[in-house]
Amino acid sequence: MSRFDLFFVLIDECNEVTDYAIARRIVDLHHHNKESVQRVYSVEDIQRYIMFARQFKPKINKESQDFMVEEYRRLRQRDSTGTAMSSWRITVRQLESMIRLSEGMARMHCQDEVQPKHVKEAFRLLNKSIIRVEQPVINFEDEEEMAEPDLENGEENVAMETSEERPEEPTETAPAAKTSLSMSYEEYKTTSNLLILYMRQQEDKEG
């Protein structure tokens, strides 16, 4: 996997319209073979184009270099902040991938110089391929509400009898203030590591 610059995760979601179109297309391909394939360019034309584009050795100009450094800095900054973190760390390898993709974009346009628009497209592709995992906020809530007993059947008859004997007195009850205890995933990880370190130190002292 280290040989590839881009990774894209394809999620096969169920969609009636899309599934029908794909199935219809595959069936037509098998039925009509090559007749149903509509090509704008022939295979020979594409092969000649690729051979010609490979002859170019584009150079990165100063403007593109500055733009590339700025985009890499943005990737690094976003990777270290926020609630979503990428599945792998943004390193110099991603910068090298951006350089190769920018040069490839310039070759595709048959140009001898890498321009900022090529770097922009390379950054877009690289950014799309980075998988980010949302890290939830850790909540420390009391589970009293989940453990409430079912008192409706047991107290329904008693409430009906007492309501006939004496009138209801209006009561005002102020809702109890409920404090929410939560912390971010990074704080949770740091706290848990400190607790483990403290427990190990205590075990070493006792041992």
Could you report the average pLDDT of every consecutive run of 10 residues in the chain (207 residues)? 72 82 84 67 91 94 92 81 55 89 94 94 86 60 50 49 52 58 73 83 78
Predicted confidence at residue 114, as pLDDT, reads 94
Predicted confidence at residue 87, as pLDDT, reads 46
Q: Which tens digit of pLDDT belongs to each residue from 67-92?
A: 999 988 888 887 665 544 544 567 88
**Residue matched to tokens 């760390």:** 89
Predicted confidence at residue 28, as pLDDT, reads 80
Predicted confidence at residue 100, as pLDDT, reads 93
Tokens of 5: 């610059």
Predicted confidence at residue 174, as pLDDT, reads 55
- In terms of C-beta distances under 8 Å and separation of at least 24 residues, what long-range contacts does 59-65 make, across chains too? 59/112, 59/113, 59/114, 60/99, 60/102, 60/103, 60/113, 60/114, 61/113, 61/114, 61/115, 63/115, 63/116, 64/102, 64/114, 64/115, 64/116, 64/118, 64/119
**Residue matched to tokens 């009293």:** 144
At 118, phi and psi to the nearest 5?
-70, -40
